Each structure stands twice: as structure tokens, then as C-alpha cells.
Chain A
Amino acid sequence: MRKGQYQFVAGFLLVPVALYLVFVIWPYIQTFGYSLTDWKGQSQTFSFVGLDNYVALFQDDIFLGAIWHNILFLVFIPVITILLALFFAFMVNAGGRSRAGGVSGVAGAGFYKILYFFPQVLSLAILSVLFGAVYRSDSGGMLNGFLVSIGLVDPGAPVEWLNEPNFVLWALIAVIVWHGVGFYLVLFSAAMQSIPRDIYEAALIDGAGRAQSFFKITLPLLWDAVQTAWVYLGIVAMDMFILVSTMTAPGGEFGGGPDHASETMSTYLMRNFLIYGKSGYACAMGVVMLLLTLILSVVTLRATRRERIEF
């Protein structure tokens, strides 16, 4: 570019860059600053404590547990959601076997697409109320009511789904997966529809079954879409704030119970920040969260990089 062009471009970028600096970058820096203090969150008086907060953080069993739970979410939510969505998308788009040589979805594919997408229109806040009723801990709950009626659960000792340390994380993962599969089904469907049919037809003529055409054709051609889905689901897994804080208790404010079994970094951060008045400490958690997510995103994007296929 010539010199004048630089100035021209810079002139346009000046305002957005300034806004970005003030509203995005500056809070990061400010937070890092606060993380080195004993700020209590309700006034502007604090003193500098150096790295004390970080030292304390890595001796805090609850926070270390919370990191571990986020990592579990990060592993299971994307894997389960993407696998289910891929499976359904494949069945809806290319799983049918109606006409010889034709590539089409299973019967009623259009209807399924709408049905699967439906959970996506509900907000997480509504979901937490809905699944609160599903997981309710007495026989008034949907799951317990069902299990009691078929005689699997004793009405005098119903399963306290969200109050079982071994269960609560899976109960939350189930909600997120239920919510997310439909969206990624539609995303993958769109990507699948852009795969030329002749490839499938050629495979069919060569005698490929459903599994083979999925693994040899669909998945490789869908890789970009899967990668996108992975990044988005990674965001969900690192957060999980709404579901954990509204569906789980005890542990007082912002959920995380029972006994920190479903604690996430975000819920523990908020409790320290607002309830315990350890805001500087909470800011240190925020910085650690930022670093972890940055590392994870770099790793994810590196690990999933593939050769592109042209068609």
C-alpha cells in the first residue's frame, strides 16, 4: 500500500480502535491491576499485596476443583454435542435409503430438523426452570415421578439428582447437550448440503455403506464446521455460569453445590467478588480464567488444524 492509503485506513480505524481499547482492553488491564491488591469491592480503598492473591489461589482447593470441573465440561460438552449433532445431521441429510442411487435423509427429515432445533429457542434461564422441574428431588419431579411410577425408585427415597456429587455435573451436561444439539444439527446440515451429491453417489456405486460414507466423505468435508462448533462449545464449557448458579445450590450464592461438587471458576469468582468481599482475589481468578481460555483456544485451533480438501 502506498503511504496515503495507510493514513486513509488508519483514519477509519481510529474510532473503533479507541472504543475497543477503552471498553475491552482497559478493563482487562484494570482487572490485572486489581488482582494485585486486597480490594474489597465496595469502595476505592485498597492496598497493594503483590502476588499474594495468586499464591493463595493455587492453594485454594475449591478453586482448583472448579478448574477441574470446567475441564470436564470442556471435554464432554463439545464431544457429546458434536457427535450427536453429526449423527442426527447425517441421518437427516444423507442417511436415507429410499431410492437406489439417491442420497436423501430418513423419512420425515424436514420435521426432525424443526423438532431438533426447538430447544435452541429457549434461553438458558428458562431451561434452568424447566430442568429444575425435571430434576426435582421429590416424586413431584418429572424424572423421579417417572421412575417411581415404573417402580424403579422408592417414593420414600427419591433420587436427589442435583444434590448428588457424582451426578450433578452429568445432569448439567445433559441440559447443555439437549439445548445445543439442535443448533449444531442445523449448522452441520447446512455444511452437508453443500457437499456435492456426486461424491456420495460415486461412493454408493462403489458399495460404501452408511458408516463408510460418513467417515470417509462427510466428516472430512465438514471439518471446518466441526472446528467452529468446537470453539463455540468451548466457550459454553468455560462459562456454565447461568446453569450452575441457578440450578444448583447449596454453597449459598451462585450455586456450585453440593459441597462444591459443581463449582465452576465463574461461580466461585462471583461468590468471592460479591459475597465474601474478596474482590481482589476474585480478579486474580478472572486473570487465571483468561489465561486458561487463551491457552485452550490456541491448543484447540492448533490441534484441529487439517489439510483442506477442495471440491
Chain B
Amino acid sequence: MGSTSAHNNEGLGRRDLIKRSAALGLISVPTMSFLSACASSGGDDSGDKKPQGQKSKDNPFGVAKGGKIDVVVFKGGYGDEYAKAWEAAFNKKWGVTATHTGTQEITGKLQPRFNAGNPPDIVDDSGAQKIKIDVLHKNGQLLDLAEVLDAPSVDDPSKKVRDTLIPGTLDPGLQEGKVVALNYIYTVWGLWYSGKLFKEKGWTEPKTWDEFLAICKEATAQGIGGLAHQGKYPYYINVAIMDLIAKKGGLDAMKAIDNLDPKAFVGSDAAKEAVEAIYEVVEKGYLMPGTNGLTHTESQTRWNQYKAAFITCGSWLENEQLKQTPADFDMKFMPMPLLPGSKMPYEAIRAGSGEPFIIPAKAKNLAEAKEFMRLMLSKEWSTSFAKEANSLTILADGVDPSVKLRPGTQSTVDVSKKAGTNTFRYLYTEWYSEMDTAIQNASNELMAKRIQPAEWLKRAQAAVDKAAKDPASKNNRRD
């Protein structure tokens, strides 16, 4: 190195001091960014009075002409064109100008705004970076949507909005007994396969777990994987495990988990058999090779290339894989096959709703936001959504018959019809984020063969027991 000054032992020299403090500063850089992430500016300011419109049957919330609305939409698999179409329609009807934000960074953009008491008026809180509903609710940031749901429906003012929706689709938005999020998109979960591949191989849709295993076995023998799952996100395999539990043990087995029963997993025969059934797939080598470490798009794409017979997913799969799916793939949806002695019929499926829309309690333009949501649940807006985003909404018969559906989506409609009222839906994922993560971790270990079913049950039960210790969990109950 170049010249350096002689070092005397007279305490810190000026240079040393500067050097050291610089080094100290540098090393604390990573810490700093995280610390400042925690910091925030406080302060609430009360909103100023706005002009109010006359309340009436057509205008239940008193929207004034020429107002404003601040819309934030998750720009994911469904894009945000649909929201722009809505905003244009809203402007046409009420002369309300919308500020539109389409983004994938919901948390990054909104967390500071919620904290500062300056949230938008309506938010599609979805995607990997959504703010968890349970967290928002516990902070008192969400408007109870009862007012919107009890308002007269746009299409038939003699009915309340809530009576025009597919039964049960409001449940996932429940927190402590109130609907605080409107899960707008009708979703079903289960297994998917290629109609073309099955035809070629002469396989038929398996109705029992044994038939399912038989197909997996044959597929594996022919160099095709049996079951693929989105390994990097154990959320998906949890859907399979939990659905087996619910179908085997009936709704009670499902509610035991949501209600944090001390015997939800350990001591539940349904849970034991379901997990052992899934583990059989692992043990016998019927998983698509490498599936445990793949992302959702990677493994779904492999499945689209006929590298696996089955994959587990929700009904967004078709839209998500549009580009990767061969034209003659003939995507098909089916319910989870049955374990022997199951309480629910084969036709039963997990059905419900996704893509939560919320209205922040501190929104500046509450009347506009409520009216916007009411209009979302009109036939006109619902059809416009189906056209732009290729998916169904929770409005019963909400899509104009003229809209032609793709084969996968069509098969979800058929299966849903056959299921009728035999549908179920877990809520713990919406209520207990930490418990959900813990069970997902356990499932990943199970799929990687690092733990056995008994250990999985123990870990899942431990997660349940931990969630039950939180005093706030008493407010979430389902019957």
C-alpha cells in the first residue's frame, strides 16, 4: 500500500477515528435498512367534510356527483384491464374520477399508507405481496362490509346484494364473525389432468385413492411422473392433504382444524389416514422427479409437457398456463379421489372464492368505495370481468351466456354443478398465517421424505396448539 503515517501509541489518531467510524457505519448498513423498514411516521388526520349525495334506493350510500375514488388493484394473473373498464363505467354513471394503481407490490405501496392513516378507497389485496387480511383486521383497518352486502342489489333492488352471491363465497372474508374482505373470484381446488394424455393411455378419472395410485404406478412405469406439485410453495400440496382430511372425516374434521381443536391432527383418524395416503405417493416414488424443488410455474409447465399425470391446483391454473399449454392439451379438473370409508362423496370439492377486495376503514371516499363494490356485484360488471380476466365471479349466474369458456374453466363449472352443496372450504389459512406457514413447512419435509406421517401430525398439531394460545384466536369460530 502507499505511504502510511507512523503509528504511535498515543490513542486514536484522526485518520483512525475516521476510518473506524466509517467501518462501523458500513457494517451497520444491512441492519439499518431493516430498522428503517420498521420505522414509520405516525399521525392521523381527520378527514375534511365532503359533499354528500342524496341517499335513495338507487344510491344507497349517498354518492355525490363529481367525486373521487382511489383504486389499487393487484396486477397479477388477471391483469388490471378489468378494473380500468369498471372505473370507466363508474365515471360514466356517477361522474366520479378514479385514481388507478395497478401493482404487484401491494405491501410496499400500501403498508406506509395504512400506517399513516391515509389508505386508498378500495383495494384488491392479492398476490404474493398482499397484506394479510388477519393482520389488517387486527389493526382495525378494515371496513365491515355488511352495509354493502345488505344494500339492494343493482340487478334486482328487491334483493339484498348478499342474496345474489354463490352460497359460502363470503366465508373466506370472515374475521371474528364479520365479513371484512370480499373474495370476488369463484375458485375451486382439486386435481388436474390432460384429457388428451388420459385418452391416449386409456386411463379414466380415478374415483378412489387406489385407482389414483394405480394410474400413478402405470404412469411412473412409462416414464411419466404420477403426481406433480408446486414444491417450492407447499401451499399446493397442503390443499391435497387437507382435502383428503375433509373428505375422509367430513366437515367436522375440517372445522376441528379451523377451530384449533386439541385433537385436530393428533388423535384424528381422518388426518392420520390422509397424511399416510399422501406419503404413500412419496414412498412409492410416484412423484414427478424433482417436483419438490420446483416453483409453481416450473412444475405446471412440466405437467403441460406431459411429464406428470396429475397436478394439484386451483382454478386459476388455466389462465396462468395459457401460454405453456399445448392447443390440444384438453385441460380437465377433477375432485380429490376418495379414501375408503370417506364421509363425503367423490363429487365434493373445495370451493370458495379468492382475490379479496377490501375497503379500508379510514378510506377518504367511503360512499364511493361502497358503491363501487356494490356495482362489482352487478351482472354487467361481473360479465365484464369474465371477459377481461377469463374467470368466474362469486355472483350467481353472473356471466352472460354469450361468453365462451375455455375447456379447463368449463370443466370446473361442470364439476361444481355435480358437487352442488357438497362443497367445503378451510378458513385457517385466512385466520392464522403463522400456523399455515408451519404446516406448509412440515408438508415440505414430508414430501422430501425427511419426516414420517406421525411426525407431520405432531408438527401440525403443535402449530394448532400454538395458534390456540393466542388470546385473539377465541374470536374466530365456525359452526
Contacts and interface: CB of A to CB of B under 8 A. Distances in A.
B47 to A, nearest CB: 16
Interface string A147-168: 0000000011110111101000
A290 B131 contact: no
A286 B38 contact: yes
Contacts, number: 211
Interface string A267-311: 001110111110100110011011001101110110000011010
B332 to A, nearest CB: 24
B27 A231 contact: yes
A42 interface: yes
Contacts of A277: 132, 134-135, 138-139, 433
Contacts of B292: 137, 160, 163
A139 interface: yes
B440 interface: yes
Nearest to B444: A250
Given A224-B1, A277-B132, A250 B27 contact: no
Given A138-B302, A194-B1, A290-B35, A45 B290 contact: no
Given A250-B233, A257-B444, A282 B141 contact: no
Nearest to A221: B1
B38 A282 contact: yes
**On chain B, which size bracket covers the interface?**
35 or more
A194 B3 CA distance: 10
Contacts of A45: 139-140
Contacts of B421: none
Contacts of B111: 41-42, 274
B293 interface: yes
Contacts of A138: 288-291, 293-294, 298, 302
Interface in B77-99: none
A255 to B, nearest CB: 9
A156 B285 contact: yes
Q: At the interface, is chain B mostly helix, strand, loop or mixed?
A: helix
B31 interface: yes
B44 interface: yes
B131 A156 contact: no
A275 B289 contact: no
Interface stretch (B18-26, B378-386, B392-400): B18-26
B61 to A, nearest CB: 24
Interface string B264-292: 00000000000000000000010011111
A155 B234 contact: no
A121 B461 CA distance: 47
Interface string B208-245: 00000000000000000000000111110000000000
Residue with the greatest number of chain A CB neighbours at <10 A, chosen from B36, B232, B293, B302: B293
B460 to A, nearest CB: 13
A194 B35 CA distance: 40
B290 A139 contact: yes
B6 to A, nearest CB: 7
Interface stretch (A8-16, A100-108, A233-241): A233-241
Contacts of A297: 23-24, 27-28
**On chain A, which size bracket covers the interface?**
35 or more
Residue with the greatest number of chain A CB neighbours at <10 A, chosen from B4, B29, B36, B42: B36
A189 interface: no
Contacts of B115: 41-44
Contact of A31 (B35, B43, B450): B35
Given A24-B32, A273-B38, A42 B6 contact: no
A225 interface: yes
A50 interface: no
B7 interface: yes
A251 B231 CA distance: 11
Interface in B291-329: 291-295, 298, 302
B354 interface: no
Contacts of A271: 437
Interface in B424-451: 433-434, 436-437, 440-442, 444-445, 448, 450
Contacts of A232: 26
B4 to A, nearest CB: 5
B139 A296 contact: no
Contacts of A65: none
A250 B290 contact: no
B28 A293 contact: yes
A259 interface: yes
Contacts of A24: 32
A201 to B, nearest CB: 19
B137 to A, nearest CB: 9
A42 B136 CA distance: 6
Nearest to B2: A194
A251 B441 contact: yes
B307 to A, nearest CB: 8
Contacts of B234: 250
Contacts of B114: 42-43
Contact of B30 (A156, A250, A253, A266): A266
Nearest to B442: A259
A179 interface: no
14 contacts: A42-B135, A138-B293, A140-B298, A232-B26, A241-B30, A252-B235, A270-B37, A279-B38, A286-B35, A297-B27, A298-B24, A301-B20, A308-B6, A310-B6
Given A250-B234, A276-B434, A310-B6, 18 more contacts: A24-B32, A27-B35, A27-B36, A42-B131, A44-B115, A45-B140, A137-B290, A137-B293, A138-B298, A191-B1, A194-B1, A250-B444, A251-B437, A251-B441, A252-B440, A277-B135, A286-B31, A301-B23
Interface of A: 24, 26-28, 30-31, 34, 40-45, 135-141, 144, 155-158, 160-163, 165, 191, 194, 221-222, 224-225, 231-232, 234-235, 238-239, 241, 249-253, 257-260, 266, 269-271, 273-277, 279, 282-283, 286-287, 289-290, 293-294, 296-298, 300-301, 307-308, 310
